[in-house]
Structure 1
Amino acid sequence: MTVETTAIRLSNIQALRAVAALLVVAIHIQANELRASADPLLSPWLYHGVAGVDLFFVISGFIMVHVTRGRFGKGRKALEFLYHRALRVYPPVWLFTALAVLGFYAQGTLSDWLSRSGLVESFLLIPQRADPLLGVSWTLIHELYFYAVFAVFLLFPQRLLPFALAAWAGVVAIGLALGVGPDSNPWLALIFHPHTYEFIAGAFAGLVFHHKRLPFPGWITGIGILVFIGGAIVLGLRGPDDYPDFWGRVLAFGPGATLIVLGLAGLESRKSWVSPRWLQRVGDWSYSLYLSHILVIAALAHAWMRFAAPGPLDNIVMIIAMIMAPLFVAAAAYHLYERPTLQIGKAWGRRLFAAPS
């Protein structure tokens, strides 16, 4: 996912997107090695890579504050904001969801998948009981909800944003106190999900970052990393069948992720440390990497099952392939599809939202 260019590029946050995406990739490499090999090498601790999603949510809140400064109080700007958010989210989702559907059809399992997940809901990212057909895109349903609420905030003066965020947090708390949970109506479960607090925390981090020069950003980053790792330690060894997906992971990873985002942005603003260019480049590919990696890894695992042998050699070869192939596909998808469609959409947006003469 790409960070818009403003007065401060936020290269460190772009690199952090790469880290978040690679954490999620690690989960699926570990899970598919376990599925394909009788003697897996990778630790189940890699399942803590789910924290990459929590990191993404915090980054998203931070970036929304960063890119909308000076655009509050104007209905036209709110519509423009929603247009650009949809432009960034939907075209890549449509591509990789279509590829997932083709894969299910080729395997003869499409009808089974469609009995659980709606086709229209999966393409439009509408809340439903099951995950979308492209499983990882469940997070984008949350993102679109965040953007819709934030667009409402853009209608009011910017000075009211902290109060609006606090009120939003209060509304979510009321819903949770009334018993809304993951088994509730899909729309209610989305609106009152604790993941919303990660977006709100990221937004408050953005407000702090832009309010004044941040003291001790290195310490803030270091403490954030320790808290983040500590969350994984507290949760312990968890697998997909018993991993907390409501308050547990938000409390474990949200605070650390917020401190990391704030600290890294502060380090860059002080010119104390800027991430390596290669990691920023992977950050450019991160959205395509996030959406495509599960398809690539699953295909490799399916092929691996045909020649898996005792011993570690084939595991090592396939683990390397499962790291490199998704990166290659993501780079190709970014340069050949994601960026061109974004450029075309931005050109349309400039005409659509051009100021009247």
Structure 2
Amino acid sequence: MMRAIAAMLVVLFHVHQAFAIRFTTPFFAAESYLFAFGAVGVHIFFVISGFIMVYTNPPGKAFAAKTFFRRRLLRIYPIYWLCAALYLAVHVLIGQAYALGLREAAGALLLLPGNASSIIGPAWTLAFEMYFYLCFGLAMLAGSGRGLTILIGFFTISVAAGAVVQIDHPAWTLVTSSLLLEFIAGAAIGWLLVSGKLPRRGGLTITVLAIILFGAGIAAGYERAPSVVMWGVPSVMLILGLAMHEAARAPSALVRKLGHFGDSSYALYLIHILLVTLAIELARQIPWLAEQPPALIAIPFALAALLVAEFLHHRVEKRMLGWLTPRRKSPLPLVQTGHP
């Protein structure tokens, strides 16, 4: 469920920002500031990603590196390439063609640091995802327990190195980013859960504290502290609290039903900026739409985008996965991603 909520937060932020900049002034001065809180969804995604990696590769389970990397590549790239092609085509049709060189386009399609966002803006986070998957897969070759220790140590040293050595290069920025700490925090929560060491009490309290910290961050100002502190810490606490709560009791039918939307969160993350672009073009043709307050546009837009993502996930993404695994009697199980 948290994947769906995090994705919706990001969508609300982006569509509100797009309409507030181009069209009608928001209802009140702080409206854009409050909607910008949606950027926290990225931090939640990173924590969830680390959690899922360990949860789906628990201690005691033989780690098949080839299978792991194949599943991750199939989960990330095919639907990403399809969406990237849609972005390129639509931008040509509306007279806003991308000015991409061959090197930049290749970097975007491969999700390389510095170029990942050249076609789909939010795809910069996917460069982090791919790096994390690479490091996780290599670390797990040493065994689940030892591998997780190696991963935590490596990322911690990398972040420390980045704080000491400043190099102006996208790859260095990525491999030393403090955002990597959110991945390993999520991985640690996952390990506590699958190893049976996660406390069963106090989950609700930690969840409430996380929400309070989010509120404190809004009140204090988004730039008062590094994002990994301002949003990373409460994001870790939120996932920890929810994991503890669900470990103590089975999730309700409502939570399970809402969790269904988490499966399409990756498709939502990929497609929503294109939908924002189309909505802006539509508003330019329909003055009444452009005159509406951004908040009134953002909420129904997010719901509509979710429906599009559901269609994309079930009718396209899952079928693509089936086509790409023809030797199996049934499609390769859809591996979860912390990304939307």
Deviation at 1:86, TM superposition (A): 0.8
Deviation at 1:224, TM superposition (A): 1.9
Give the secondary-structure state (helix, strand or coil) at the position aligned to 1:171: helix
Structure 1 residues 277 and 192, CA, compared in 2 at 3 Å: closer, same or farther? same
Query: Counterpart of 2:19 in structure 1: which amino acid?
Result: E
CA distance in 2, matches of 1:289, 1:233: 29
CA distance in 2, matches of 1:249, 1:133: 25
2:316 corresponds to 1:337: yes
Once the two structures are superposed, residues 222-257 of structure 1 have per-residue CA deviations (whole angstroms, 9 ceiling, x without a partner) of 112222332333334xxxxxx69xx72111111111
**Alignment root-mean-square deviation, CA:** 2.8
Once the two structures are superposed, residues 154-200 of structure 1 have per-residue CA deviations (whole angstroms, 9 ceiling, x without a partner) of 1112231342133113321332133336xx21211111111111101
- 2:241 corresponds to which residue? 263
Give the secondary-structure state (helix, strand or coil) at the position aligned to 2:141: coil
CA distance in 2, matches of 1:54, 1:317: 26
Deviation at 1:91, TM superposition (A): 1.2
CA distance in 2, matches of 1:208, 1:342: 31
CA distance in 2, matches of 1:82, 1:18: 24
Structure 2: unaligned runs, 5 residues or longer: 333-340
Query: Counterpart of 2:4 in structure 1: which amino acid?
Result: A
Once the two structures are superposed, residues 4-36 of structure 1 have per-residue CA deviations (whole angstroms, 9 ceiling, x without a partner) of xxxxxxxxxxx0000110010011121122134
- 1:306 corresponds to which residue? 285
* Residues 1-357 of structure 1 aligned to structure 2 (within 5 Å): 15-41=1-27, 43-44=31-32, 45-70=34-59, 77-112=64-99, 114=100, 118-128=104-114, 131-180=117-166, 184-211=168-195, 212-214=197-199, 215-236=201-222, 248-271=226-249, 273-274=251-252, 276-309=255-288, 318-346=297-325, 348=327
Instruction: Judge conservation of contact 1:304–1:318 (CA < 8 Å) in 2.
Output: no
CA distance in 2, matches of 1:116, 1:231: 41
Structure 1 residues 162 and 327, CA, compared in 2 at 3 Å: closer, same or farther? closer
Query: Counterpart of 2:239 in structure 1: which amino acid?
Result: V
Instruction: Judge conservation of contact 2:12–2:38 (CA < 8 Å) in 1.
Output: yes
Instruction: Judge conservation of contact 1:194–1:250 (CA < 8 Å) in 2.
Output: yes
Structure 1 residues 168 and 278, CA, compared in 2 at 3 Å: closer, same or farther? same
TM-score of the superposed pair, with normalisation by structure 2:
0.86
Structure 1 residues 329 and 310, CA, compared in 2 at 3 Å: closer, same or farther? closer
Instruction: Judge conservation of contact 1:153–1:161 (CA < 8 Å) in 2.
Output: yes
- Determine what percentage of the aligned residue pairs are the same residue: 29
Query: Counterpart of 2:186 in structure 1: which amino acid?
Result: G
Structure 1 residues 119 and 71, CA, compared in 2 at 3 Å: closer, same or farther? farther
Deviation at 1:348, TM superposition (A): 4.7
Deviates further, 283-292 or 129-138: 129-138
Deviates further, 307-316 or 221-230: 307-316
CA distance in 1, matches of 2:316, 2:290: 40
Structure 1 residues 213 and 95, CA, compared in 2 at 3 Å: closer, same or farther? same
Instruction: Judge conservation of contact 2:159–2:177 (CA < 8 Å) in 1.
Output: no
- 2:338 corresponds to which residue? none
Structure 1 residues 151 and 27, CA, compared in 2 at 3 Å: closer, same or farther? same
Give the secondary-structure state (helix, strand or coil) at the position aligned to 1:110: coil
Instruction: Judge conservation of contact 1:36–1:302 (CA < 8 Å) in 2.
Output: no
Figure out how many residues of one structure are paired with residues of the other and give that number: 325
Query: Counterpart of 1:199 in structure 2: which amino acid?
Result: F
Deviation at 1:92, TM superposition (A): 1.4
CA distance in 2, matches of 1:323, 1:133: 21
Structure 1: unaligned runs, 5 residues or longer: 1-14, 237-242
Structure 1 residues 115 and 34, CA, compared in 2 at 3 Å: closer, same or farther? farther
